[in-house]
Amino acid sequence: MEQREHEQYEGLILRSQGGFYQVRLDTGGELQCRGRGRFRKEETQLVVGDRVVVQPTEEESGFITGLLPRKNHLIRPPVANIDRLVLVVSSTQPAPNLLVIDKLTAIAARREIPVVLVFTKADLADTADLAELYAGAGYPVYQADSLSGRGTAPVGEACARGITAFCGNSGAGKSSLLNAIFPELGLATGGISRKLGRGRHTTRHVELFPTGRGGYIADTPGFSAVEFLQFERMPAGELAGCFPEFIPHMGGCRFTGCSHRVEKGCRVLEAVAAGEIAGSRHQSYCTIYEELQTLKEWELRRPEGR
């Protein structure tokens, strides 16, 4: 497409590295862009996934002149406008860490990012109980065996459109799952991309790769260990709203400002006792609540970035 200087176009940031941004234009084609100085003055960080306005300056290059409203934003990894976060959890080797899962689902809820859970290595261990636990909490849940391909097709269909970020601890089988769903990405197990010729230990930036089905996969280095307290400095009193299965019960508590941990007349505790809320989820809630209570007031006021 012929582009003329001084005309402006909207597009999507696919890659950010060294102050340069690769932007895919809605009208077709890509530009390598730099951000205008006002973004630095306003302390606004442009990130992968941002919808932006660009002005071409010459063939295949230009400047980002505007940032369109975000629907969500993560600080680490720096990525915006995520349509879903896929948590890849190994059913065994290593065993699932429910507290880590529950922290990550709470982070996603805080950032208004829908979560999908995929339990891998379904051929090695029965994941039915885990699937039932998280489906009962309101999350879409899939069970997959990447080696045989069993259960991978529904995951691929769920991630076909929009921007999807995958998160999984080392050994959870994230790369194997991605390889089974999107073989065109050329991801080898161990996190090395044949297509890009780089290894996981040398990756220092986030990048979006087209799925070929109208969507993008976010390559998010280091996303296996999100620092909950460092990047989600919410008041402890807001945590319950990040557990979706708590929300229908929270209005029924006897006392205003109920912490949903020890109070008499707490409807959430009654739901736990009745089996309507899983005990492990409530225990995770209590653990995270206590961690958040250790935050100082100045830490809660500290800016998170824009």
- pTM of the full predicted structure? 0.84
Contact call for residues 27 and 1 (beta carbons, < 8 A): yes
* Residues 95-135: tens digit of each pLDDT: 888 998 999 899 899 989 999 999 988 778 788 889 999 99
* For residue 292, pLDDT beyond 80: yes
Whole-angstrom distance, CA of residue 19 vs CA of residue 36: 11
Taking Cα atoms as reference points, which of 147, 138, 165, 142 lies closest to residue 84?
A: 165
Greater pLDDT, 299 or 214: 214
Cβ contacts of residue 245 below 8 Å, gap of 6+? 136, 137, 138, 271, 276, 277, 278, 281
Instruction: Decide: 222 and 77 in contact? Cβ < 8 Å.
Output: yes
Pick the closest to residue 176 from 190, 195, 160 (CA basis): 190
For the segment 204-224, the average pLDDT, to the nearest whole number, is 75
Confidence of residue 3 (pLDDT cuts 50, 70, 90): low
The sign of the CA dihedral 99, 72, 79, 298 is negative
Percent of the chain with pLDDT over 70: 82
For 48, half-sphere exposure in the C-beta direction (CA atoms, 13 angstrom radius) is 25
Q: Which of 115, 71, 75, 46 is nearest to 228 (CA)?
A: 75
Q: Are 94 and 171 in contact (CB under 8 A)?
A: yes
* 197 φ/ψ sector (left φ>0, alpha ψ -120 to 50, else beta): left
